[in-house]
Amino acid sequence: MIKVHHLNQSRSTRVLWLLEELGMRYEVEKHERDATTRLAPASLGKVHPLNKAPIIEHNDIVICESGAIMEYILDQDTEQRLRPEKGSKAYYQYVEWSHFAEGSLGLPVITSLLMQMEERSGTNPMDGYIAKELNLDFSYIDSVLAQQTYFAGDEFSVADIMMTITLEIAGSLNLLQGRENIARYLANVQSREAYLKARSFG
């Protein structure tokens, strides 16, 4: 059974969501953020040196990083669900968006989060760059979702799980105003039973 180390209000929700979608058995060990600093507790560092979530343990393997964990779990699924057939157009869309979530989009979104957490006066050279990147990324995302239901085309995939969590962080920072296609997309995926179950862990 896969053991998930889940940190409240973190990207480890992705892992729980995927396991629920696949109907796999798993166990959860919860870790709580420090109420003041909002940092992960030292308990995670006892599992993996990076002291970050998500982390999974399975068959003497310990893995950190959302994308790597998702691929590992998909490899355990005998029915090979939620990942398009390799070599297809949908597969490469899936690969692109799965990486985009923590790469091109992750950087400006997390930077925005950190910038909002600090006391700032006036403008900063970083402001213009981050604003440009966010506008570019969200314009691209919104245009794609205007043409297709999910990030890898017509079928829900792990790319949607990866992207949704990053988009939710952006939404919590009020970065998605006016992005109607993104809003419609989020309402759709957030109604999935597996998503709601994953969110119940906090």
pLDDT attached to residue 121: 67
Block means of pLDDT (10 residues each) for the chain, 202 residues, are 96 97 98 91 96 97 97 97 98 98 97 85 83 97 98 98 98 97 98 98 92
Is the model's pTM score more than 0.75?
Answer: yes
Helix, coil or strand: residue 36? coil
pLDDT attached to residue 78: 95
Answer whether 30's CB lies under 8 Å from 54's CB.
no
pLDDT attached to residue 125: 82
Answer whether 194's CB lies under 8 Å from 21's CB.
yes
Q: DSSP character for 41?
A: P
Both tokens of 176, joined, read: 């998605």
Cα separation, 28 vs 40, in Å, equals 16
